[in-house]
Amino acid sequence: MISWAYVFAPPGVDLGKVEEKLKRQYGNHIDIQDIEEELKDRQETKDALRDVGAPYQSFRMYEVTWYLPRSKVRALWRQAASQCLGKLERSSKTIRVLCGHLLYYCGQRSEFYSPVDFNLLISRSDLKPSQIVLLIDDVYDMYYRLTRKDELFDHAERIPVYLERLCYEQGINIEELSPEQLLSYCMGWELRTITHLLSWGHFETIFIENLSAQVGLGAKFLVFGVKQLTEALIHFLGDLDFQTVYVSHPISEARRKKELGGHWPEFIYQVNQLQKDAFDSKVVVVMPTAIDELRFSLRHIREHHPPQRTGALEERWPLIDDEDNLLYCRPDSALDSNYASLLMPKYWDFSSQKFVEYLQEDRSAPIIDSLLGVLVGEIEFQIATRDHVLVTHTDGLLVFRPLFSGRFTRGVSAEIDHWLSINQSGKEKRAAFVHWEEDIRLVLQRQGRKYVTRSVANEVINIIQNKYQISKGRIIKALISQEPVGSIDSILSAGAIHPATLKHIRDDMPKISREAKVNLLRGYLTGMVDIKPGLAGVWVLENYEAFKKALPQIANFLRDGSPVGNHWDEKINDLFPDFL
């Protein structure tokens, strides 16, 4: 079966390297045509650049977007895209992929625009894609790549021009600027550029989501971070039997445990195994931690003052495999994917034409913290938008160990709420909630005897009220007539309930108590969602090995709706504390 796909990415993701990895590992099955590579090589492009006097012999997209007006670039884009589609149409490969960028940036005019002729991409029914992918990467990787020599935001070219323009507009002699002033201006430029890159990815997401809606209901849309397995993308592109599942799990709590203990908890390595282990069940797990940007280090600069952001970045969530097996390619000269010092205080030294570290951290702390606060807000917005797009466009939701942190975190709860709203709007999408027994026991222990006992007793009251048609007021009267107030036995007051009914209740109490615990725990395990039966499955497991064995069942539930869990209710008494 022939698979057509569109794969797009913002500049800075290094789409060319991704294409090389796909060809190297799956070259016998995949044909990739890159619109920008075709555009650069066309004689029409070279002629257009020479006509405007572009002073280069070897042209890149930088020169194309710098020297040519957008109307000309659009015409060249259409010619290149048509040529690429023609090559794919004549290809003998089973996976045919059109690659490119949906947004261009003109450095000369500091403007974004789209060169894309969407009609060309959607008009031919025989060339409509079955999959559309947007590849993304951490904004720090993008910034690092695009600020190197001869790149779009080359420091040596852009910073001096930027500073000279600022000084001219403000009537300041650039040579009289103090290191603190240079620091403020330079960090302002850095953070503005990073914000541009965040917006770039956001706009491309909007464009591609719209494109996927136009090409027909059969096109599957996926936003996919490149710090994931190459094999995962190949399965998505080449096998329509694979379903996509977004995994929602605690993130910040794992980082806090690392800060306290000095090492990552075992939990993160379990999460990192999910994608590879799910392949046998024909599932592409989509990892939220393929992007990890909100990791600013905080430090107490002044005594009795709240901690401030210093510009240092904490270690990112560990990569899920060796880089050779990922779509990701670390930029040349980058030591690792953490970029710990990328945003540390620095200023531009005109004599050496490079950034110089600013060492008087205490003096710059308020400036740094304020500037970074703006960036934090933008990153938080992008995280919320991106993760909700993933929940929307994947086939199912896997909520993995949400009680690892002792409670449902804000991020996990928001994703569950979004999943719930999708179902309430009429589109059925299933969610599998996976818990470890140890997490459940810990949560119940932390809640304490009084709270858990009272919660179970309240559920017992509800069950008795519904089953025996006894008014709630009479049950409450019975409940408070004996001590201890919160005990289950206190609802069996013979003075408030008819003796015959009381006997039935006494006889049923073991069953009622068990049902109450199951009802209560089901609420805990699903985040208290009110959902149509069959759309939320619950698995309570001993450890990761048990999870791997359950994966085929979980995948089948997410695909077909059965089985709805692993009969966790059979071990309900073992899960609750001894005091119940």
% of the chain residues with pLDDT over 70: 94
Distance CA 439, CA 406 (A): 7
| Domain boundary assignment for the chain | 3-242+282-394
**Sign of the CA dihedral with 551 first, then 553, 555, and 558 last:** negative
| Better-scored residue on pLDDT, 494 or 126 | 126
pLDDT tens-digit readout, 95-117 = 999 999 999 999 888 889 999 99
Q: How confident is the model at residue 76 (pLDDT cuts 50, 70, 90)?
A: very high
Q: What is the pLDDT of residue 109?
A: 87
Question: What pLDDT score does 552 carry?
Answer: 98
CATH match for 3-242+282-394 among 3.40.50.300, 1.10.1750.10, 2.40.50.140, 3.40.1030.10 = 3.40.50.300
- pLDDT confidence tier of residue 494, bands split at 50, 70 and 90: very low
The arithmetic mean of pLDDT across residues 565-576, rounded, is 90
The residue-averaged pLDDT of 366-374 equals: 89
pLDDT at 496 (0 to 100): 62
* Percent of the chain topping pLDDT 90: 59
Please report which residue ranges of 217-280 form alpha helices under DSSP H. 230-238, 252-261, 266-277
State mean pLDDT over 412-434.
93
Instruction: Using the predicted structure, report yes or no on whether residue 330 has a pLDDT greater than 90.
Output: yes
- pLDDT band at residue 486 under the 50/70/90 scheme: very low
Average pLDDT over the chain reads: 89
- What is the predicted pLDDT for the residue at 561? 95
Which of 47-61, 288-302, 359-373, 488-502 has maximum average pLDDT?
A: 288-302
Q: Read off the pLDDT of residues 196-212 as tens digits, 9 standing for 90 and up.
A: 999 999 999 998 988 88
Phi, psi values for residue 501, rounded to 5°: -65, -40
Task: Name which residue leads in pLDDT, 149 or 579.
Answer: 149
Burial of 432 (0-12, 13-18, 19+ CB in 10 A): buried
Q: Tell me how far apart the alpha carbons of residues 300 and 551 are, in angstroms, rounded to a whole number.
A: 45
pLDDT the model gives residue 366: 84
Distance of CA 97 to the CA centre of its chain: 24
Spatial CA neighbour of 201 closest among 420, 8, 417: 8
pLDDT at position 495 is: 53
| Antiparallel, parallel or unpaired: β 104-106 and 296-299 | unpaired
Long-range contacts (CB closer than 8 Å, 24 or more residues apart) made by 529-534:
529/416, 529/420, 530/420, 531/420, 531/423, 532/423, 532/428, 533/564, 534/430, 534/561, 534/564
Coil, helix or strand at residue 401: coil
According to the model, what pLDDT value does residue 484 have? 43
Instruction: Give mean pLDDT, residues 377-396.
Output: 92
Which residue has tokens 């960028």?
101
| Mean pLDDT value across residues 473-480 | 61
Of the candidate ranges 26-40, 49-63, 316-330, 432-446, the one whose mean pLDDT is the lowest = 49-63
Task: Identify the pLDDT of residue 489.
Answer: 57
Name every residue whose Cβ is closer than 8 Å to that of residue 328 and which is 6 or more positions away in sequence.
137, 141, 226, 227, 228, 319, 337
Q: What is the pLDDT of residues 397-409, one digit of tens each?
A: 999 999 998 889 9
CB 502 within 8 A of CB 397: no
What pTM, to 2 d.p., does this model score? Answer: 0.91
CA dihedral 251, 256, 261, 266 (to 10 degrees): -10
Strand 30-34 to strand 95-100: parallel, antiparallel, or no bridges (unpaired)? parallel
Q: What is the pLDDT of residues 123-133, one digit of tens each?
A: 776 778 999 99
Give the pLDDT confidence score for residue 482 in this predicted structure: 46
Region 229-258: what's the mean pLDDT?
94
| Confidence at residue 243, expressed as pLDDT on a 0 to 100 scale | 97
Residue 481 has pLDDT above 50, yes or no: yes
Q: What pLDDT score was predicted for residue 392?
A: 93
Mean pLDDT of 277-289: 98
Q: Is the pLDDT of residue 329 over 80?
A: yes
- Mapped onto helix, strand or coil, the DSSP state of residue 503 is helix
Q: What is the mean pLDDT of residues 353-381?
A: 87
Question: Tokens standing for 358?
Answer: 């600013």
Highest mean pLDDT pick, 165-174, 330-339, 544-553 = 544-553
Tell me what pLDDT residue 231 has. Answer: 97
Question: Model confidence over 523-566: pLDDT tens digits?
Answer: 999 998 888 889 999 999 999 999 999 999 999 999 999 999 99
479 near 457, Cβ under 8 Å? Answer: yes
Please tell me the predicted confidence (pLDDT) of residue 483. Answer: 41
What mean pLDDT comes out for the span 290-307?
86
